[in-house]
Amino acid sequence: MTERVVLAYSGGLDTSVAIGWLGQETGAEVIAVAVDVGQGGEDMDVVRERAIACGAVESVVVDAKDEFAEEYCLPAVRANALYQDRYPIVSALSRPLIVKHLVDAAMYHGATTVSHGCTGKGNDQVRFEVGTKALAPDLKVIAPVRDYAWTREKAIAYAEEHGLPIDVTKKSPYSIDQNVWGRAVETGFLEDIWNGPIEDLYSYTSDPAQPRDADEVVIGFDGGVPVTIDGKPVSVLQAIQDLNERAGAQGIGRIDVVEDRLVGIKSREIYEAPGAMTLIAAHMELENVTIERELARYKRGVDQRWGELAYDGLWFSPLKRSLDAFVDTSQEHVTGEVRMTLHGGRATVTGRRSTSSLYDFNLATYDEGDSFDQSMARGFIEIFGMSSTLANKRDRTVAGE
């Protein structure tokens, strides 16, 4: 039986060229797998046909938008996943989903190898390969761009020589990755970190400086899951898409960051994630209302570690699974609604309500109806500060004061 390679196929120059090149270099049949995570752009039927025209023996397109939203984006919302406290791991979330479908295709078609188009500088090579090894340790991996110094110039020459049906003349100055959770832009003039971003970079968001009327939205959650927008039931995917449109129209979700890549270098990235940033902001506010203080304090550390693991490509790791279990239990009472004003590049919380709220008006108020017994405070302060008081007394004695 002829060897088979399953290729993560985007439809672009590098992976289109990789189909013929992999067949030529390995003698294997190539199966192209394209996973639709809401990246937009070309029609996926066109992508499927292009893979066949470039020499693939099979071309598989998976509509995974709902799966991506429910099994990858939703956990990120519940974990308030913001890498370096800034951005919602746009690309990292899609990689384990793509890996899962690559491995499934390899098992189904009897392939011994999977392939991807990542370079040796980025995080994605790690995400693809660590994920593959976690799910199918016996599969081999080939990365033509990294392993064989496959430059764009070589790819263009190969495409022209073999008459591949792809546009090899148009070259964007940027590297762009996008899905329903957001959009990432890098390279080009952005590599000089003093250069400011320009409007041409953006696609998911409008200029927040342009005057426009504010938009008010009410997001409903049930157990940490967004279930309604302005009282209308929505799926997770619909919630993201709706807020991408509405928050994006207000310029919300633009992020300009110098991030720490897993491989040890820093890179400058421009992100757009209007729906993601709005949902996370609303979810965090509802947690403030419904999660007990000590659990909330501990969860903030869990959230940070969860985001780091997802960013680092350790989606299928034991620690990630255990943190998932913790996050799941923490969401038991995260039910209610958050009202937000979307305007001028900001999603501002203006109201929150929940049947599971820990906010007690009668305890919090300073007006008539105050039920808090203030006489308890003096003794509480004495006991709470006792260890610090004793330690400081000891230090003064030792110092001879």
The DSSP result for 357-388, as a single string, is: ----HHHH-SSTT----TTHHHHHHHHHTHHH
pLDDT along the chain (401 residues), means of 10: 89 86 88 93 85 92 97 98 95 96 96 91 92 96 83 76 67 82 91 95 96 97 98 98 98 96 92 98 98 98 98 97 98 98 98 96 80 87 95 93 74
The predicted structure's pLDDT at residue 168: 58
Residue intervals of the chain classified under CATH 3.90.1260.10 are: 176-291+333-353
The predicted structure's pLDDT at residue 397: 94
The predicted structure's pLDDT at residue 337: 98
> Residue 138: what residue type?
D
**How many angstroms from the chain centroid is the CA of residue 78?**
12
The predicted structure's pLDDT at residue 121: 83
Residues with a catalytic annotation lie at 14, 95, 124, 175
Is 267 marked as a binding-site residue? no
The predicted structure's pLDDT at residue 171: 61
CATH class of domain segment(s) 4-171: alpha beta
CATH architecture of 176-291+333-353: Alpha-Beta Complex (3.90)
The predicted structure's pLDDT at residue 174: 79
Is 11 marked as a binding-site residue? yes
Cβ count within 10 A of residue 231: 8
Residue intervals of the chain classified under CATH 3.40.50.620 are: 4-171
The predicted structure's pLDDT at residue 1: 62
pTM listed for this prediction: 0.93
Is 132 marked as a binding-site residue? no
Q: Which residue has the tokens 């006489």?
A: 375
Note whether 258 and 267 are within 8 A (CB).
yes
Q: Which residue has the tokens 């029609």?
A: 43
Residue intervals of the chain classified under CATH 1.20.5.470 are: 361-398
Is 9 marked as a binding-site residue? yes
Is 111 marked as a binding-site residue? no
CATH topology of domain 361-398: 1.20.5
